[in-house]
Structure 1
């Protein structure tokens, strides 16, 4: 009875907390990190708003078009930034996924969080595959590696055999949580 609403609120809390941490990361002295953190904060807060359970708040029809415009602008910005860094490709995919979800949710009969019995569209399936791969790859990058192994593989994440949970690892953890949240949201389409 309370399962879907409770999981929806957990998703909202996860995305909002991730967005808040990304806002804190915007204080970095490195321009590239500030830019990435800003895009990730927008994604975190946008996902939090879109994940509010429909039983609690159903946005008006025009709100979905507003989401599509905001995330369309974020996608355009990521496309422009892609010329300087390949990391922005993920931001581009994430922002266009948010546009897609906003359009699907806005086109559903009750403006709810499901698209009905139409099955799994090919684009949704492709996005599910992308974000599943992204989550798995990001999760593997967070696994601590013993110091001797790190030197041979070029991997990071451990110093002296213990996890180094500094800024790069927390940023990866936030990206991992947003990837998991994106998977959860795509599954509801």
Structure 2
């Protein structure tokens, strides 16, 4: 049941992100596309294996797709990661860094869950302990969930520039809620590795 709930959460979040691509602010459409891709990938990865056992080559496809997404996010986040680069919008660069970490986490999970991985973690961590990369990603996503969740609590309803209400795809509190649910989904998936 928990697998299906994760599929539903990630699928609905991805659908809302696609709505944000169509009706959200132009400067946030790239982030919404990346979040939609992440949501679809997480939903597909979370389908219970008892219902649909993916072919052996599917994990390589995940790794390639999210590897390409990581390269795109690296390009997008270059202002936050490289000293001396033009600053641009710091929030956009920071969110690009988050997309980079998310894409790398998806590649890591695809490789760890692929055939021949020995259940995921042989050789990655201390003897019999939690692999270092899994632990670092768990800490990152736990802190991200707390940060985004804290931002959501006091958010007032947003109004459109003309005094009306914003379209569903342009509401910042819903975008934050989507980021929170995706981070919770990623945290859950990392815990199952």
Q: Can you list the C-alpha shifts for 1:119-151, whole angstroms capped at 9, x where unaligned?
A: 42010000000000000000000012xxxxxxx
Unaligned runs of 5+ residues in structure 2 are: 79-87, 123-127, 158-165
Q: Which has the higher contact order (CA 8 A, sep 6+)?
A: 2
Would you say 1:134 and 2:129 are equivalent positions? no
Structure 2 Cα separation of the partners of residues 103 and 19 of structure 1? 23
- Secondary structure, aligned partner of 2:137: helix
Unaligned runs of 5+ residues in structure 1 are: 1-5, 145-156
Would you say 1:10 and 2:1 are equivalent positions? no
Post-superposition shift, 1:108?
5.0
1:171 match: 175
Between Structure 1 and Structure 2, how many residues are aligned? 165
Ranges of 4+ aligned residues in structure 1 off by more than 6 Å: none
- Please show how residues 75-86 of structure 1 align to structure 2 within 5 Å: 75-83=70-78, 84=88, 85-86=93-94
Task: Give the structure-2-normalised TM-score.
Answer: 0.79
Structure 2 Cα separation of the partners of residues 40 and 109 of structure 1? 27
RMSD: 2.1
Task: Give the structure-1-normalised TM-score.
Answer: 0.81
Q: Can you list the C-alpha shifts for 1:2-39, whole angstroms capped at 9, x where unaligned?
A: xxxx0000000000000000000001363321100000
Structure 2 Cα separation of the partners of residues 116 and 76 of structure 1? 24
| Equivalent residues of 2:7, 2:42 under 8 A apart | yes
